[in-house]
Amino acid sequence: MTNVTVLGAGAFGTSLALYSTNLGHRTRVWAYDDGLPERVAAEGQNAAYLPGFSVPDALLFTNDMATALHDADLVLLVVPSSFMRTVTAQAAPHLPRGALVTSTAKGIEQESFALMSDVLADTLPDHAKSATYLSGPSFAKDIASQLPADVSLAAADIETARRVQEILHSPLLRVYASDDVVGVQLGGALKNVIAVGCGAAHGLGLGASSVAALMTRGLAELARLGVALGANPLTFLGLAGVGDLSLTCNGELSRNRQLGQQLATGKTARAIVTSQKAVAEGYRTSVAVHQLATREGVDMPISEAVYKVCHEGASLAEEATRLMSREAKDELAGIFLTAK
């Protein structure tokens, strides 16, 4: 038995806690929302974020960080990227010295454009070198329903990834080890931006062919920026790249795809995201992608269109027309930049 702590009681955090409990690990969940633990205990489910899935008595929800982290062997950080710095700083005094830490956040810090690995280096310096990063096609409801899924888990030292792999791997959640920390994080973050574009294309009725084209050319954008930032381009052909991209662009449960679909109805991005409890990471990440692409000199026209629609009030129809009116090119021209 491993002592597993999940920081974050949203849908994905709850699904991973249920999964961990089903594996036989002693599991605790730290919840930000005051009163949520009491409601979960009374109702036997996390109705606010993952309704319809029973929470066993053995799975403890708490608002107290010290209680949640007591004797933890593995800590899963399942909070939106915009809250990672605050939550991990709060956790730092209570984190056991030898605990393994795994981030599942799929985003980039908006203010600093830092990856979660950079955030952890600031807030959890004693644990950051051995931290791991999980990404891949995995909807919360699928995990909670005990449906099969595959994910990628990266660490700077692949042996560390394999240690966490031993704890989490099962026939229902196959965990593949990787040593590409940058690529796995970027794949999980950048695909959300492309998914907003695919949702918009779907909402505009542009057809399945256009969505497939956006996904494919979007994958090229992911790889270009990823390689510019030091990632292995092959990572983007794996679970954290094309795998997660496929799910997020096509899956009806995808919050980022849903954001794009609602943009197609004429609503503003800000109005959409402020009306929702769950976070569509692509909205915030598009800002970081815009800045990083500009800084690195990387051509990312689809991501740029999403940024302009979400944050500059650009017309969705006009951005779609602009993308389709770009000059003709050779398909593989500039698909990868040389890694720094």
Burial of 159: CB neighbours in 10 Å, binned 0-12, 13-18, 19+: exposed
In a 10 Å sphere around its CB, with 0-12 CB exposed, 13-18 middle and 19+ buried, how is residue 227 labelled? buried
CA dihedral 287, 291, 296, 297 (to 10 degrees): 90
- Helix spans in the chain (H): 11-22, 36-43, 65-69, 84-91, 116-123, 140-144, 158-168, 181-203, 208-228, 244-250, 255-263, 269-274, 281-296, 301-311, 316-324
277 has catalytic annotation: no
Q: Return the number of other C-beta atoms located less than 10 Å from residue 102's C-beta.
A: 24
Whole-number Å distance between alpha carbons of 142 and 134: 16
Annotated catalytic residue within 106, 191, 267, 277: 191
Residue 80, number of CB atoms within 10 A of its CB: 17
Residue numbers annotated as active site? 191
